[in-house]
Every structure is written in C-alpha cells, then in structure tokens.
Copies of this chain bind each other. A is one copy, B any other.
C-alpha cells in the first residue's frame, strides 16, 4: 500500500501518517519526490487500512498495490484449473459447449432439445428450473419438477447437466440433481448464496454481474474458493453499458484478461449477452477465437413459442450450423471441440 501526500504537506502531517502505520505494527518507508512525498506501507496490510489512511490530514491518495483476491489469482496459483465432471473437462484443451432451453417447459421440449444439441456436438445440457425474472408477473420456472425432468433427460441422453440456483435454502436441493450449479449475473454479489455453493463441493459456474468489474468478479469467486470449493468456472455474459440495441454488451476482452490474471476456466454466454438470436453465432465464434474454454447457448425447438427468452434462442438448424463452424476456429487456437461422452463410451 502506498500513501501519496499532498504537494506542500507539512512535516507534522508526514510524521502523523508514519506514526499511524507503525502503531499497527507495520513499517513506513518514506520517499521524497519533487512534487510529492510518497510513503510505502510494508507488512501485512488489510483492506480497511486504505480507508483509514485516506482520511488523515495531508494525504492526497492511498494506492493499494496487492490484489485483494488470492485464491482466484494466477500469481498465487500459476497452473490452469480444470473442472472435471463425468468425463468432461472444462479448462483443458477442448472447447465444451453447454446447450439447451432457457426455461424447462416440458419433458418433450427438453428431451427433443437435448437430443438435437447432443447430435450437433454439445456436451452438457443446460435448462432453467428456477428463473430470475425482472417482473413478478413473468413465468418463474417449474422448480423441483423441472429439475427432475432435467435429471431424467440428462440420464437418458448421457449428458451432464447445469441449472441455476437462486436461493441459499435451495442449494442442497439443486445440488442433488445437477452436475454444475449456476449462479446468475444478478446473484454474483449475493454473498450468502456464494458461501452456500462454496460449501458444496459441486462445480459452480459463476456469471459476471451486469455492472461488475474484473476485481469484483474474482472476489465473488474468492467467496466460493475460500469455502474450500475449487471447482469454479467463470462465465462472461455481457455488461451493462449505454448501448441498448443489445440487451447487454459482451465484453470479449474478459476472455484473455481472465486467462491472464486467473487460473479459472472461462466460458461465454452469447445468448444472454446479446438477447438476439442472430447475434449468438457470430459472438460464439468470436469467443472461441478469443480463447474461451466453452460456450453456454440457448436452444429451443420453437423459439417463437418459448416461455422465456425466445428471441435469443437458436433453432436446432441454427445451432447445428454454429457447431459446424467451431472446429475450424478452435483449430486456429490449437484447440478442438469436445466430443460428447456417449459417443466415446458406447
């Protein structure tokens, strides 16, 4: 932590700051510049110290040097984390595609979608049973009966499954059914929920909050990791900006940045990022080109009859076309598309 004093501060003010630092057992290291005196704080600092020092007379600003997250940081954990489940590895050489309907509506809808996406090359089945909805008057999902359908269809098609959990008290219930617990963007800073999914040892897919920067996102991951759950997958799904043509703005740079600063796998969700089906394929390909470890794609047999998020869902045909383009893109990045499990073990 570095304390920058104001131009023209007094010697007393400098002494006051160094005394305060030493009073709590840390060392102060003064460096006299032309315009500014700068005081380095040596020792184990805690985040609240920044606030305390910033209020002292003569202080211009306090600059933290250490990153506030540790477990999520590549500096402290240089090797890539690979999240493994039922023969699928997320974060390795292969691009993993998770596909399915936004909301589970019926067994027929789910089964036909699962079969179609698996045939096209998807490895993991997604489907929402508990749906966060902006309005209290919208369809909120089938709840546990939806989870049951998802589990059955996953079993039948031999696909691992992923679904969202919204309430801390539902974590055990959802964890009973699914292979990956999904935390939605609106819950990225629901710290109680993060603690709870951290306590399970299930893989967790953590979506970036609509207005969360990289540090806040990794601190949210830190909540889960600090509970002893190392199986965290990050998911870029768009941030909120002034541009309203798309539902959100997919921050494509998140992919190489997370790869640089963290060891956790990163996937992209172009369906929620854009809210428009015709943008999903171009952005899915862009994400793979940028180095994403996987994709989360909404697919629906009849998007215009969907109970949720129809306009951002791909038809079976569009999904097949997208999947046919991924291997070439992956190849340019020395990677390949994961092969669905059932095709491996007959």
Contact = CB atoms under 8 A, between A and B. Distances in A.
Interface of A: 2, 4, 6-8, 29, 31-36, 38, 40, 42-44, 46-48, 51-56, 63, 65-66, 68-69, 75, 132-140, 166-169, 186-187, 189-192, 210-211, 213-214, 216, 219, 222-223, 226, 239-246, 249-253, 255-257, 260, 273-274, 277-279, 282-283, 285-291, 303-311, 325, 328-329, 331-333
A271 B137 CA distance: 34
Nearest to A191: B132
A282 B329 CA distance: 12
Given A32-B42, A34-B43, A239-B243, 15 more contacts: A29-B31, A31-B42, A33-B65, A51-B310, A56-B304, A68-B137, A133-B191, A134-B219, A167-B192, A211-B211, A241-B241, A241-B242, A249-B249, A253-B274, A286-B290
Nearest to A53: B304
B187 A190 contact: yes
A56 to B, nearest CB: 6
Contacts of A288: 289
A226 to B, nearest CB: 5
A325 to B, nearest CB: 5
Given A34-B43, A222-B136, A304-B52, A256 B242 contact: no
Contacts of A282: 253, 255-256, 289-291
Contacts of A273: 253
A303 B56 CA distance: 10
Most B C-beta atoms less than 10 A away, residue of A189, A219, A260: A189
Contact of A75 (B7, B139, B253): B7
Contact of A38 (B2, B34, B216): B2
Contacts of A169: 168-169
Given A167-B192, A245-B213, A309 B51 contact: yes
Contact of A213 (B242, B325, B331): B242
A277 B56 CA distance: 12
A166 B194 CA distance: 12
Most B C-beta atoms less than 10 A away, residue of A132, A136, A140, A256: A136
Contact of A289 (B4, B36, B285): B285
23 contacts: A2-B2, A2-B38, A33-B65, A35-B65, A51-B304, A136-B191, A136-B223, A186-B189, A210-B211, A211-B211, A211-B242, A214-B245, A239-B243, A249-B249, A250-B253, A252-B252, A253-B282, A253-B283, A285-B289, A285-B290, A285-B332, A286-B289, A289-B289
Contacts of A53: 304
Nearest to A48: B307
Which 4 pairs from chain A and chain B are nearest by CB? Answer: A211-B211, A289-B289, A328-B332, A286-B286
Nearest to A328: B332
B191 A308 contact: no
Contact of A34 (B44, B244, B245, B325): B44
A310 B243 CA distance: 25
Most B C-beta atoms less than 10 A away, residue of A40, A274, A309: A40
B286 A287 contact: yes
Contacts of A214: 243, 245
A250 to B, nearest CB: 6
